[in-house]
Amino acid sequence: MRPLLFAANWKMQVDPAEARRYAGQFLGATQPAAGRSLWFFPPAVSIESAAGAFRQRDDVRVGAQDVHWEPKGAFTGATSIPLARGAGAAGALVGHSERRHVFGETDEETGRKVRALLGAGLTAFLCVGEKLEEREAGKTEEVVLRQIRAGLAGVDPGDMSRLVVAYEPVWAIGTGRTATAEDAAKVHTALRAELGRLGATARIPILYGGSVNVGNALGLLARPEIDGVLVGGASLDPDGWAEIVGIGG
């Protein structure tokens, strides 16, 4: 089996006690599989609980949903990389569409977070994706390539081995609409080519995210351009998520 990466983004759901219950149920329903890695991104208050509950499985990592680029300071409500790492996070999502379009995160800020994570030796999951009006205007590749260039500005190519890219079309997140496997593969191919131009020295996983569920995951993962999935709502049920990650087993 080719390597696949399955990432679960719990967003603003699953408290510490629920994370422990979830982990027990999920671990009981799954076994490690060669070439398959799993990541969970709980809310900040549940990172430590989830990291402890999943510690017994070497194929599972826990990350933060967002981090600040400064290691400490007067940034009320933000989570620094040292704090996230101390709670058990091995990486973080960066530039998720909700951070960009709900909270106003800029391309420059996304890049600062990527550099800070990679500089600290953690994994950065760089999210890129176009809005509906950009897709309809034929600007999908223009938008995602701009975002990946900004996100990786100033990054040493040698550090990119700790990078994961997630293509998440904004119009498909939480809407029930999903890019076709062919459309997603086309964008992934463009991203792969751009990573090469930026000097990436390793095969960086490129995930697809956007209303992924058990019904469409197989078709998406059948495409060799798609190295895994980043999933929100469908990852909240441990049994349903176990079924999805079983596609990689």
**Residue 202: pLDDT band by 50, 70, 90 thresholds?**
confident
Same domain, 9 and 44: yes
Does residue 241 form part of some domain? no
What confidence score (pLDDT) does residue 173 get? 77
**Residue 21: pLDDT band by 50, 70, 90 thresholds?**
very high
What confidence score (pLDDT) does residue 201 get? 84
Please give the average per-residue pLDDT across 106-114, as a whole number. Answer: 98
Residue 202 has which token pair? Answer: 């390793």
E strand segments, 18-111? 36-41, 60-62, 91-94
Same domain, 148 and 37: no
Please report where in the chains the tokens 């969970």 appear, as a residue: 40
Does residue 249 form part of some domain? no
Residue 59, number of CB atoms within 10 A of its CB: 17
Same domain, 66 and 166: no
What confidence score (pLDDT) does residue 176 get? 76
The residue segments making up the domain with residue 145 are 104-224
Same domain, 121 and 206: yes
Does residue 235 form part of some domain? no
Q: Give the chain's domain count.
A: 2
Same domain, 214 and 182: yes
Same domain, 78 and 145: no
Does residue 183 form part of some domain? yes
Same domain, 57 and 120: no
Q: What is the domain-level CATH number for residue 62? A: 3.20.20.70
Tell which of 89, 120, 152 closes a domain. Answer: 89
**Residue 1: pLDDT band by 50, 70, 90 thresholds?**
low
Residue 75 has which token pair? Answer: 């940034």
Does residue 196 form part of some domain? yes
Same domain, 128 and 76: no
Among all residues, which ones are annotated catalytic?
96, 168
Among 230, 152, 159, 143, which Cα is nearest to 195's? 152
Residue 220, number of CB atoms within 10 A of its CB: 23
pLDDT digits (tens, 9 = 90+) for 28-61: 999 999 999 999 999 999 999 999 999 999 999 9
Same domain, 37 and 70: yes
Q: What's the mean pLDDT when you consider all of the chain? A: 95
What confidence score (pLDDT) does residue 178 get? 76
pTM: 0.96
Same domain, 110 and 166: yes
Confirm if 29 and 249 have CB atoms less than 8 A apart.
no
**Residue 249: pLDDT band by 50, 70, 90 thresholds?**
low
CA distance 113 to 111: 5
Please give the average per-residue pLDDT across 68-94, as a whole number. Answer: 98
* Half-sphere exposure in the Cβ direction for 102 (13 Å, CA): 7
CA distance 189 to 114: 22
Same domain, 84 and 108: no
Q: Phi and psi for 106 in degrees, rounded to 5?
A: -90, 165
Residues in the chain: 249
CA distance 81 to 10: 19
pLDDT digits (tens, 9 = 90+) for 131-160: 999 999 999 999 999 999 999 999 999 999
Does residue 96 form part of some domain? no
Same domain, 210 and 138: yes
Alpha-carbon separation of residue 144 from 1, 37, 63, 66, 234 (angstroms): 29, 25, 23, 20, 24
Say which amino acid occupies 96.
Answer: H
Please give the average per-residue pLDDT across 161-183, as a whole number. Answer: 89
Does residue 247 form part of some domain? no
